[in-house]
Structure 1
């Protein structure tokens, strides 16, 4: 259970992020330019006070073992996740690269040379040779007085964490896409099955019409109308089957499978559960969604970039140390070498660059302000995502219950119409209208069930997914 706490403005959230994660010159004057975003104390959609965020085993609430297996497979084989992992690896290597600038660099050298007087191959006494050997060591270190290298290393470290959060965002997206596509496959199966069941009803009605036509109780027009209705219903089924195939192939792509290896075993939406969709305190969203955490860290990285750009305005200082041993041969190099050492300090300062470095500082500052506005926009979008998803979940539940009642009534109307038609009390058009209403109600119910399941997934995604062990098990309710 998440404990409620005072809501924070965007400004406080940004400053806290900078203080905790960077230590990199996040300037108050920049933060003062941010218009605060203060979330309401409760989500506007609904008045319930549930404060349960999705738990790590939230997906079990769908009562779909096949879905759990597909999600596990996607985490291992999805190509988007593989690319995200490689981007994280690159960020980690760049962090190592940036950190190396904080350490001294060491070098070593060795040489052997032979000086020959006279001709090569001349064995006379006038031919003389001299061998020279040498070993050298060197070290250099940049004195980071202005914090440029430290800022670059910090930015690289923060960017690694941003890449990790980006990986979490991709995982969240892939998980939601797999679930939504899986539910879509099952819904299309149900819709095709409904169409086939109604086709069987149409064939049964056609048999009644043909019998009445032979007995003179039905006209040729009645017979033609029912035959046309039968053909129309039969023609709709291949389209639904093709849509099911398309969705199945999309699922194969998400799982990294070959198309021919993809098959969904579950027959339809019947039997699926619906996880609890309680929502916590809105302010917690800033700490839950990986994209928001990444956007906050981007501000820390931008602050480090500003430090590095400002440091470039000042002189750079390097200290170097080198030493070498030399001799006339290997023996003299070991026993009686000639030693030399050199210690140096160098300073470098650009005198005129046409304002390039100051422009670089201003660019870095402008980029940070842009990121602040991006972060603010992301927060507003996140709140909107949750409101939209929660409202959709509540409305889909209401619509599903009403649609279930609609199907029950439509089925009763068709039963009565069929009985009355057999008795000659209603005409064929009344029966056809009843059948069309039943098919439409059944199809709408299936699509409403799909919308309810996908709304739950959308809410899970909007909240940033599940974290940690469940605090009290998964509460489920039937999906219809």
Structure 2
């Protein structure tokens, strides 16, 4: 009853507790008019100190987050209001290449980054179990033995001596006075009663971080899916460029041989021969550069697959790779539900908010109960006697007074961390909308660029054929022939790069929309 009326002195807005009057103190304590003045003053002083301590336990009002810019209604492309999104497609359906699907499946089983992320989830799950256990009493089996020698002029020494002279005790009840043993065997418990929700807030923070770590694992999954696809398309691009270089080498070698023959016939100069030879050497060097890039890309892809370097089987040609014809993005509001990094930031924000609640609750009194039960005796032979059974409970109410500065520092740190998480969440939202918008526009622009570049290649190939015919008849100079061959080579290599970029834009859009989540 006393504690109930004591806690009722706190106002709901957490103002300092008011000290009751002397009459109120007598009423709270159940004092009768006959109690002496010294006892009344001692009780009033003790109660006043306790109330001052409780009144010092103040917390600050929650800090409101700054107003955030709302998400736009649409990306502006394609048609507004379309809720369909390719992010809803499983990666097995988004990618039509069976070879690529097999590589992604292997990576999701063996990738080391993903395995590390899984262990981070397990660590977060263990933290949740630890925080949940803090809400329950801790029970320990205890066995202890102590030996004390009390002086003749100590309270305990005089008490034991006087007790042994009493005629009300028998032989087993006499206390050894030279060295007094103390044996205990039983259970001891400690339980912090979560009056203000501090422990529950810490548990909620741990649960939020567990969910955030699971979203972090999903983020690794989407990254692996995208990176495997990017490296696979890069490898196909390099194969395509290598085939282009080999094909153009044949044309350049033929032109070089023709020029040497024409020089012997007096129809070409040594300068023309040197120019054709230099072009041929440059193309051959490009072949070796391309082969090195193939090796590096294969090794990178193998590492994503969780294995050591080796050749990657890739039967598909770059021109045969297709993505969904309609790359729809849906509504920006769906990013909150689809993208793992957005969900992770949201859950981290909630966890930091729970940490802030726990930091505020640390200013309030903590009630700790320490019960025990077992057997206790000063002779080992009497330890298991029925009369040696003991049990008890101690309750303690503690409130911070001199360590409030450290608590304020913890609260300020939790407040700053919560605001940091809030701004990080807003930044991720802005980043996600930017990535989707860039990828949407990129897909459209690169589609148009690929069409025009293909037309350019067709025209330049005809130009090379025309130049080759004119070379036999002597109507084309060596500079015109070299220019035509170099132009078609650059255009074909550029077309392969552009086609790769087109595919990577589609993958980037799929990833930006949260695609690839298992």
Q: CA deviation at 1:235?
A: 1.8
The aligned counterpart of 2:29 is none
The aligned counterpart of 2:392 is 342
In 2: Cα distance, 1:402 partner to 1:424 partner: 32
The aligned counterpart of 1:30 is 64
Change (3 A) 1:334 1:357: closer
Normalising by structure 1, report the TM-score. Answer: 0.82
Q: CA deviation at 1:298?
A: 1.5
Answer whether contact 2:85 2:513 (CA < 8 A) is retained.
Answer: no
The aligned counterpart of 1:462 is 512
The aligned counterpart of 2:217 is 167
The aligned counterpart of 1:240 is 290
Q: CA deviation at 1:238?
A: 0.4
The aligned counterpart of 2:323 is 274
DSSP 3-state at the match of 2:319: coil
DSSP 3-state at the match of 1:30: coil
Aligned length: 425
Alignment pair present for 1:53 and 2:53? no
For residues 68-107 of structure 1, what are the structure 2 equivalents within 5 Å? 68-107=101-140
1:263 to 299, 312, 326: 312
Structure 1 gaps of 5+ residues are 1-26, 115-129, 469-480
The aligned counterpart of 2:446 is 396
Change (3 A) 1:45 1:245: same
Answer whether contact 2:95 2:101 (CA < 8 A) is retained.
Answer: no
Report Cα offsets for 1:405-426 as digits up to 9, x if no partner: 1111111111111112212222
The aligned counterpart of 2:74 is 42
Answer whether contact 2:236 2:314 (CA < 8 A) is retained.
Answer: no
Report Cα offsets for 1:348-386 as digits up to 9, x if no partner: 122212522123222222221222122111111110011
Deviates more, 1:330-339 or 1:50-59: 330-339
In 1: Cα distance, 2:83 partner to 2:404 partner: 60
Answer whether contact 2:225 2:516 (CA < 8 A) is retained.
Answer: no
Q: CA deviation at 1:262?
A: 4.0
Q: CA deviation at 1:268?
A: 3.8
Report Cα offsets for 1:255-292 as digits up to 9, x if no partner: 22112x34333364132112342111111111111111
Q: CA deviation at 1:59?
A: 4.5
DSSP 3-state at the match of 1:216: coil
Q: CA deviation at 1:239?
A: 0.7
For residues 326-337 of structure 1, what are the structure 2 equivalents within 5 Å? 326=376, 336-337=386-387
In 2: Cα distance, 1:236 partner to 1:135 partner: 83
In 1: Cα distance, 2:84 partner to 2:468 partner: 51
